[in-house]
Amino acid sequence: MKKKNDKYNPDAELAKGADLTAESYDKTQGVAVPAGKVTVGGKAGVVEFTGEAFGREGAGIDGTMSLWLSIFRYMRPDGTVNHVAGWNIMLALKAGQNALETAKGFEAYINAATRPYRAKASGGKDKALLQIVYREKK
């Protein structure tokens, strides 16, 4: 039998999570983060992509898009502390790639990884959203 943890505050712990930031290194495709926190309690972070990509030409950072989920830690109900690693995701863009294609590219990459995040892309060619949620494997 597990003993009760008096230090556990569910409201405080479920509000903890990764800070979500994004950066476009493309000349023509933009990015914004209207909801910049992905919480343990299920609040999604949201990234908005706009426009068509100029694309990557050769080596370097130009023509790429970057998402960053920060490191964080939270306490579980049993009193153990979970340390969640940060994650920098870079995606090389193709010339003419639209906003929805970029969102779907990040969705596929995030969902294929073993990290505790899942993503869902939606929208159209000119403006697309990517919702990212925190999901631990059970």
- pLDDT tens digits for range 112-127: 999 999 999 999 999 9
Mean pLDDT of 70-85: 96
Q: How far apart are CA 34 and CA 46, in angstroms?
A: 6
Q: For residue 40, is pLDDT > 80?
A: yes
For 91, the token pair is: 């995606």
For the sheet containing 37-39, what is the strand order? 37-39, 17-24, 64-69, 87-92
pTM assigned to the model: 0.92
